[in-house]
Structure 1
């Protein structure tokens, strides 16, 4: 799969209202979950205790932290779009994000992205992107919402 390349505010504006694509699937492993737990100091058993989660959790095993799945957004976004000719990119806002379904260990997820709006803020592109994290073989997504990036293009 090749990524879409965007090099300027004018190019980005051309995609206003359009779906940009879907990333390849990405597998969530127990090792990733454990590393995220260590990094965030969130060792809740539902994430890290495989045996207890197998017997006590309604999911039949461990699940990824919601914020772990959210933290994959920049990586998966980069699998869809390559922004070139940038001075800087800033993560600006997350709005209306809803975690809809747990991501169980060894699930595969992918990001679907659509440009909700692009505004020119005195030469800085304010891009609101509707994002949905899909779980392979599941109807309900892990999450959906709108993220906003500020792109400072070299022009």
Structure 2
């Protein structure tokens, strides 16, 4: 995956400092793109070798695409790297992916298509044990398109020193 520098990031000392940002956008990543080798490698890794992900001529002929379709889960997996561009918590010692809610793959991503993450903060709450629970609104927007590639709510647990 190729990624440009972020557009906007938020830096705080502690997770509790994010409370004042609930309900707002906290960052925009740089533009990213996946290459055909990324899609083919993901197909091999996950054993999801459907022709729409592995056979460019067939994807063109039968699906009307300009090449391979990136797997939805591959596109989703880019969120972690892109979110790291959107915000930082200086005293965080550990992050745990707690889960995802309302995931929607709303538009195709093809190799070479550019997309970026718009990250909003939906909630900050005490998590289990010594953690803070963040609910993050994730929207992967595509360059030159009104329709996002993906939307989801991502729940992250943050532990601090």
- TM-score class, shorter-chain normalisation, is over 0.9
Count of equivalent residues: 154
Q: Which segments of structure 1 move beyond 6 Å, counting only runs of 4 or more? A: none
Under a length normalisation based on structure 1, what TM-score does the superposition of the two structures give?
Answer: 0.92
1:49 maps to 55
- In 2, the alpha carbon distance for the partners of 1:83 and 1:42 equals 36
CA contact (8 A) 2:9 2:28 kept: no
Instruction: State yes or no: 1:109 paired with 2:141.
Output: no
Q: Equivalent of 1:149, from 114, 136, 156?
A: 156
Residue 127 of structure 1 corresponds to which residue in structure 2?
134
Contact 1:9 1:124 (C-alpha < 8 Å) held by counterparts: no
Please list every run of 5 or more consecutive structure 2 residues that lacks an aligned counterpart in the other structure: 1-5
Unaligned runs of 5+ in 1: none
Aligned residues of 1:7 and 1:153 also touching (Cα < 8 A): no
CA RMSD of aligned residues (A): 1.5
1:60-139 aligned within 5 A: 60-121=66-127, 123-139=130-146
Cα offset, 1:123, TM superposition:
4.4
- Kindly state the Cα deviation for residue 29 of structure 1 after the two structures are TM-superposed: 0.8
Match of 2:3 in 1: none
TM-score (norm 2): 0.89
